[in-house]
């Protein structure tokens, strides 16, 4: 395979497993390549989402069946790890996160998840996780997400204010006051 741009071709190179990194077909080919992972997860009765190279598995559990559901999640994670290894991919336990969401009024009635085994690594529950740009906390209050958005907005506004002399006055007058 080679890359051609503006009439110039790169040297030929072999590509044994997939399309080259940066290829326009890369994301589509990767999604097709990992699609069977959905069947592996589904075979454990687990629910999940896949987005690009992230896979999120989740369970809904009551206090009575929490232990059994955690055991199933750990077995499913081990099966996912094996499938990834067989498919020349790798599970990175250092990027794995665990969070337990509970309803505001019912959180006293639920046992906390102490940890989860992922590829011979023990993962401790996180107080927050970030998924697709949204920060979620265990009680789903969105307090941390709102704080993050406000901080980013304030920072952006401050940088714009430092550059105010570069903008036409008509543009500046159309902006809302802080």
pLDDT in tens, 105-155: 665 666 678 888 887 888 888 889 998 889 998 888 899 999 999 888 888
Q: Find the helix or strand (DSSP H, E) in which 135 lies.
A: strand 134-137
* Pairwise CA distance, residues 81 & 44, whole Å: 14
User: Does the pLDDT at position 4 exceed 80?
Assistant: no
pLDDT at 28: 81
pTM: 0.71
For 45, the 3-state DSSP assignment is coil
**pLDDT tens across 149-178, in order?**
988 888 888 887 777 777 787 877 787 765
Q: Give the number of other CB atoms < 10 A from CB of residue 176.
A: 5
Average pLDDT, the chain: 83
* Pairwise CA distance, residues 155 & 159, whole Å: 6
Chain-centre distance for alpha carbon 82 = 20
Residue 116 pairs in a beta bridge with 123
pLDDT at 6: 67
The answer to whether the beta carbons of residues 116 and 69 sit under 8 Å apart is no
pLDDT at 44: 95
Q: Which residues contact 21 (CB under 8 A, 6 or more apart)?
A: none
* Pairwise CA distance, residues 139 & 128, whole Å: 10
């Amino acid at each position: 395979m080679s890359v051609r741009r503006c009439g110039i071709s790169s040297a030929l190179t072999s590509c044994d497993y997939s399309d080259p990194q940066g290829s326009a077909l890369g994301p589509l080919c990767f999604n097709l390549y990992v699609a069977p992972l959905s069947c592996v997860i589904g075979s454990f009765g687990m629910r999940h989402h896949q987005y690009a190279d992230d896979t999120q598995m989740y369970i809904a559990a009551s206090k009575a069946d929490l232990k059994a559901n955690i055991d199933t999640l750990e077995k499913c994670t081990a099966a996912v790890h094996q499938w990834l290894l067989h498919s020349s991919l790798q599970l990175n336990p250092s990027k794995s996160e665990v969070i337990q969401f509970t309803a505001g009024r019912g959180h006293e009635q639920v046992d906390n998840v102490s940890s989860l085994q992922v590829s011979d690594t023990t993962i401790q529950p996180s107080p927050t996780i970030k998924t697709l740009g949204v920060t979620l906390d265990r009680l789903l209050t969105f307090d941390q997400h709102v704080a993050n958005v406000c901080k980013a907005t304030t920072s952006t506004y401050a940088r714009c204010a430092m550059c105010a002399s570069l903008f036409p006055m008509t543009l500046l007058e159309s902006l809302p006051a802080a």
